[in-house]
Structure 1
Amino acid sequence: MKASDLSTNEYSVFNATYIKAADDKALMEGLIDGLLQLVNFVKNIPVEKLEYRYAEGKWTIKDVVLHMIDTERIFAYRALRISRGDKTPLPGFEENEYVPFAFANSRSIESLLAEYQNVRKATISFFESLNEDQLLFFGTASNTAISVRAIGFIITGHQNHHLGIISERYL
């Protein structure tokens, strides 16, 4: 199954952007390919660009990388809860409130990439452990219905979305 095969009732309108950005790959292929894609992409960014802001109040590339890590953790946690049959509605999060407390620019890019790799490997391991039934489980996150498999595609598409923004606006 690919992201384009998902039913629109499996994710919110807000997440449609990320579903579209997931490319036309199977879920595990997208997660696995994305691991090396991000690492190679970031390693090729000139060091002087890593703390560059393309406009006042915008995030740096380091901020964006840590945002992708934080978001992946949150979405993987949502997938875990839903895949285990937890029906508790899960709250949203305000990404802009996370960045000032993440201190990404005080960290080396190597430490950010190491953390990203650990998080993505954990995400891959988690999704590999799920059976077909679990991938179809639905829960509520950010006041909307979402399937576990849609969350996996959102993780992939969210990363692709931000790599596109970095390419267009920072480099």
Structure 2
Amino acid sequence: MKTSELKDHEYNPFYKTYVEALGEVDLMETLKRQIKNYPQFLASIPEDKLNYQYAEGKWTVAEVLLHVLDTERVFQYRALRFARKDKTPLPGFDQDLYVPQSGASNRNIESIIEEYKAIRQSTITLYESFEEGILKRKGVASNSNMSVAALGFIICGHQKHHRNILRERYLKD
């Protein structure tokens, strides 16, 4: 499925910047491309930058990275529920509560890369199991309709969004 096949009613407008950041791409190709190139990006981050914040009150590099992992897990779970026709509305999640509990300051880049690969491979395996019609199934999360396909694209766009922020605000030296 391509990004151009998504309809606006398949996700909350809040996520539009993530989807648009991807351009015209195929979902499975993007999931698989990112599992190859994102670990290379992560490995390029100097270990001494993991606890760096570019301003007071901002997340550290490690916190941003673990936020990306947590978000993929949450959105993957939502995709599974909606794919299985679970109509139970799902609550949102408060990223600002998750981050302090992530243990980011105790992590090294190798463990973050390993965890990322496991999570992304799980996402790929899940999405590979979906037939085309399943991608159009919808559920409600955070009081908004979300399709299974939209969740996959948002996972990819969210990762790209935070990679760009890390490059622009944290790693520009």
Query: Shorter-chain TM-score category?
Result: over 0.9
Distance across 1 between alignment mates of 2:63 and 2:38: 14
Where in structure 2 are the equivalents of 1:30-45 lying within 5 Å? 30-45=30-45
- CA apart distance, 1:22: 2.5
Q: Tell me the equivalent position of 1:164.
A: 164
Deviations 1:79-103 (A, max 9, x none): 0000000000011001011011111
Pairing of 1:4-153 with structure 2 (within 5 A): 4-153=4-153
> How far off is 1:153 after superposition?
0.2
Runs of 5+ in structure 1 lacking a partner? none
Deviations 1:66-87 (A, max 9, x none): 1111000000000000000000
Maintained 8 Å contact 2:69/2:119: yes
Q: Show CA shifts across 1:93-152 (max 9, x none).
A: 010110111111111111111011000000000000000111110110100001100000
Divergent runs of 4+, >4 A: none
Count of paired positions: 171
2:3–2:25 Cα contact (<8 Å) kept = yes
CA distance in 2, matches of 1:156, 1:67: 14
SS of structure 1 residue aligned to 2:23:
coil
TM-score, normalised to structure 1's length?
0.97
> Identity rate of aligned residues, in percent?
51
**Over the residues paired in the alignment, what is the CA RMSD in angstroms?**
0.9
- Give the TM-score, by structure 2 length: 0.96
Alpha-carbon separation, structure 2, partners of 1:160 and 1:11: 18
